[in-house]
Structures are given as C-alpha cells and as structure tokens.
Structure 1
Amino acid sequence: MDFLLTQEGNVIAFYFCVCLLLYKEGNHVNYSFNNQFDIINSGVNWQMDWKAVTFDLDNTLFSHEEAFKKAIKECFKTFSDKYINEAHEITYEQFFPVFKLNCDRYWDKYESGEVDGKTYRRIRFNETMKDLALPYGNDYADFFHDHYYSIIDEYSKPFEGVHELFEVLTEHGVRIAIVSNGSADTQYNKVKKLGINKWVADEHIFISEEAGVSKPDKEIFKLVEEKLKLPSHDIVFVGDSWEHDVAGPIEAGWEAIFLNTRKEDKPTEHQPAAEFEEFTHLKDELIKMVRERRAL
C-alpha cells in the first residue's frame, strides 16, 4: 500500500510539473469537468474578475434555429393555403431545405450591406420558389415575411437558466450587455420576448443595424467599451459563433467564452477562456464563480 501511494504521488507530481512547464511556455492545457465535455482553458485566468458579461442573442440565449423552423413551417402552411393550388402542392419537408439553402447563400450580401433586409428576404424567398416551380414575386415574398415577423417571437423561448444567471450577475454588480447582428426591430422584439430587458438596459443593447458595424469587426466591440465605460480586459463575450463571438472579441482585446451548442469546428488558433456545449453548464459555472468572488 505504501508503495502504491508513493507511486501515485510521483505520477501526480510529474503531471503537475508538466502542466506548469506548458503554462510557462505559453501553451494551454485544457481539462474537462462535470463529465459533460465542457472545457475550461487553464492557461487563462479563469476567475470571475470581469465587470461586464456581454452576450450574443441568437443560439446563445435561445435556440433561434428551432424558433425559425417552427415559424417558417407555419408561414409556409399559411402561404400554401392561400396561393398554392393542388397541382403545385409541395410539402414543408421539401420546401424548408431549399429555403434554408437560399437563406445561407445570400446572407453575406445582407451582412456586408450590399443589400438591405427587405431585399435579402425577397431574394431568398423568390429564389426558393423559382427552384421549386412555385408562385413567386415581391408581393408574395412580403406577405410571407410579414407573417413570419408577426409570429417569430411566439416561438422564441430562453434557454433554461438564462433568467437565473442574469439575476445573479445583476445582484453581484456585474453588468450585462447584448451584442447582436441583424435588424434592430427584430432583435429588440426578441429581447422583449425572452424577458431579459428586466436586466439589460436599452443603452446596453447593441444591434449591428443601429451601430452601423457588425461582428466580428473590432469597432462594434470598441463601441461597447465606450458605452460601458470599461477597458477591454474587464469584459468577456459569450456566444455560439467562433468567427463572430470568439475570434472577433479576442481580436478586440476581450476574453471570450465559446458556447458551442452546435458542436462546430474551431477554424483559428484563438483561445477562449472556456467552452461549453450547453447553456445550463455555462450558467452553473458562472454563478458558482461570481458567488465565490463575493465571498472573498
């Protein structure tokens, strides 16, 4: 028994030395916890020292993909009942993949400012209907999307634990901000529907359409710093897009937490402070640390 204990102690000591050596040489050692494949990067000072936590919106605080699918399904049914006769009848299962393909295909044109939101929506609808040999035209596209925007909020539900986390952060004096790309009206409506405007002041909601600049451009993060009156090292960004919510903030001098709910690859060498695959695990860890900081 004494031999085994000594041997185990040597292994632990050796492992500690290796980790220390790697840390000193600037490498990052990752370790898992909670048995959920959530990762904390031990090369980063993972302490709740931030004075503000900023969040992306879609697929970070709620599942935009699920809300989008459900709303589009209802819109397609309404449109089909009104404008598509039996001779051209097509199922939602046939329609949605083509529509989503066109959404993604033309998104960069909207995000870069090459086309405005209304034009983007008309293009993605009309190209889809052409592909499927269905009725198309700007009037049809506007009808479809007017209905979409009248119902999308009803399908937007916050992830479990969002309100709890925001309450605890606020109680402990940590400011909260939202930084999101997209249409101002649409994103503000989502904030209201998610019920998070209770904790997030209007002046701390930054939407690309209003800001005139989109993530991952450094300028939108600098704008947030100015409004919050905080330096970059006092702010952390939480989001689901590697390019927009990890690489972008890090390039601006912030730290970032990757909420990898869609299990995406990491195309660059940027090092987030932490990575989680579920919001509840992020929530639990942040609450734990903010309370530990208060106890110090």
Structure 2
Amino acid sequence: MKRVFVFDIDDTLYDQLRAFKRAVENLQIGNQKALDIPSLYQLMKKYGDETFSSTGFDKEKLREMHVFRIKRTLQEYGIKINSKQAMQFQLDFEEYQNDIELFPRMEELLDLLVAEKQVVGVITNGTIDKQVKKIKALKLHKWIPKNNILISESIGVSKPKKSIFKCFEKALSLSSKNEIYYIGDNYLNDVLGPKAVGWNTIWVNYREHNKPIGCKADYIVQDPKSLYGLIAKLIKT
C-alpha cells in the first residue's frame, strides 16, 4: 500500500546543532567549556519559536529576531553580547548550515521509500532562500520531487497552522489522511500541527525532551536508526 511520508528538515533530516556549536565557538565568549551547548541550543530555538510568529517573513524583522534570540539565550548564562556580535553569530550559523549532511541511516531510509514507491515530501518553516540552500546541500531532490516540497514563506503560513498542511494535501491531491505520516522534531510544529488536520505523526525526539502530558504523537523515536526501523515496518504493514 502506498503511504505518504512528509519530513521536517532542521534537526530531523540533519543535525543543526553542529552548525550552532561552530557559530558559538566563533563568538569567543570566555570559558566555553562550561557551556552546555545542547541546552543553549534548545533555549535559542525556544526564544526563536516564541517570536517567529510575530515576525512574518519580513527580512528586517527576522534579523531583529535572530539578534534577540541569541542575546536573550546567552543572558540566561550571564553572558552579554552586543547586537553586532549577535548578527555575526547568525551569519556564521547560516554559513555553517551550507556544510551539512544527512543523519546516519537517513539516506538509506530515503532510498527505501523511493524503492518501495512511497510518496515522500517535505514541509519546512523558513524563508525560501535559506531552506532551498539546505535542500541543495542535503541533495534532497535525489529522492523528493520539487512539487512535494513546501517551504512556509512560499505560501505565507508556517507550522503549526492547519492551513500549511491542508495546502500540502491540496497540492498533492491527497484524499486519505490515514496514510499520511509527518516526521519532525518540534512537538508543537511537527506533532500538534499535523495531528490537528488528522495526520499520523512520528516525533523524532533525538534530544530526549520530556514527554508532554497527554502526548499526541502516534510514534516516538530517539534516533535515526529507530526511525528507519519504524518506517520500514509501517511500509510492510
């Protein structure tokens, strides 16, 4: 039976933490060995997610958000940087995201989905310019048709809003939601969002976040190997 597997990109198909770590190291902010980089990263994502909905896709507002989120994150650790440093951090962060690769087993998983003639797609938040660069760096067009990739800026709506998932359904003429699976790392965007329109969800909880009370994810995996095993099983079911 043909199913539809739709992926998030950041921290689902590749590890964005690596680019973040390299950008933080460039800041030269003292005793970096004392910093918990994964926690710092999650905190920055939290502040970014909280402010993203109010910025829209206005480039000036997005830059203000980028400056704010890293400055606010470092304040939690008693570290102050100025706006110029914060902007340089963001530029470095973006640059290092051009040097990325798929998680282990992810290429094998995409090969399997194509070989089994499953429908593969992407829904990702972000600007067209940034996300297209990541798509090219990861060589996703090898497995995923261009028409199956939806970047939020292209329609002016971001996850977790229902309309972005409905737009994907319409674009691919999908009728049976029972066979659609969304795979992503962000609980709000990638579980609650697609669940609201009736999709199945696979929460890739690689960072081992606490499971929310009444967790709505249909499946939870802790690593790419487990994701491969789960999807291989779903295909055969």
TM-score range, shorter chain: 0.7 to 0.9
Q: What is the total number of aligned residue pairs between the two structures?
A: 229
Give structure 1 stretches of 5+ with no counterpart.
1-48, 78-88
Give structure 2 stretches of 5+ with no counterpart.
none
Partner residue, 1:85: none
- Report runs of 4+ in structure 1 exceeding 4 Å deviation: 93-103, 125-131
Structure 2 residue corresponding to 1:163, chosen from 93, 101, 107: 107
Q: Is the contact made by 2:205 and 2:222 (CA closer than 8 Å) also made in structure 1?
A: yes
Partner residue, 2:6: 54
Partner residue, 1:18: none
Partner residue, 1:181: 125
Given the superposition, is the C-alpha separation of residues 129 and 230 from structure 1 closer, same or farther in structure 2, using an over 3 Å criterion? closer
Q: TM-score, normalised by structure 1?
A: 0.66
- The alignment's C-alpha RMSD in Å is 2.9
Structure 2 residue corresponding to 1:120, chosen from 60, 65, 69: 65
Given the superposition, is the C-alpha separation of residues 267 and 176 from structure 1 closer, same or farther in structure 2, using an over 3 Å criterion? same
Q: TM-score, normalised by structure 2?
A: 0.81
Alignment of structure 1 residues 1-296 onto 2, 5 Å? 49=1, 51-73=3-25, 75-77=26-28, 90-93=30-33, 100=41, 101=43, 104-113=46-55, 116-125=61-70, 132-134=79-81, 136-138=82-84, 140-154=85-99, 156-231=100-175, 232-267=177-212, 269=214, 271-290=216-235, 292=236
Percent identical residues: 26
Partner residue, 1:38: none
Q: Distance in 1 between matches of 2:89 and 2:83?
A: 11
Given the superposition, is the C-alpha separation of residues 119 and 95 from structure 1 closer, same or farther in structure 2, using an over 3 Å criterion? farther
Given the superposition, is the C-alpha separation of residues 271 and 129 from structure 1 closer, same or farther in structure 2, using an over 3 Å criterion? closer
Query: Secondary structure of 1:258's partner?
Result: strand
Given the superposition, is the C-alpha separation of residues 158 and 106 from structure 1 closer, same or farther in structure 2, using an over 3 Å criterion? closer
- What is the one-letter code of the residue matched to 1:249? P
Q: Is the contact made by 1:54 and 1:236 (CA closer than 8 Å) also made in structure 2?
A: yes
Query: Secondary structure of 2:203's partner?
Result: strand
- What is the one-letter code of the residue matched to 1:65? L
Q: Is the contact made by 2:48 and 2:66 (CA closer than 8 Å) also made in structure 1?
A: no
- What is the one-letter code of the residue matched to 2:160? P
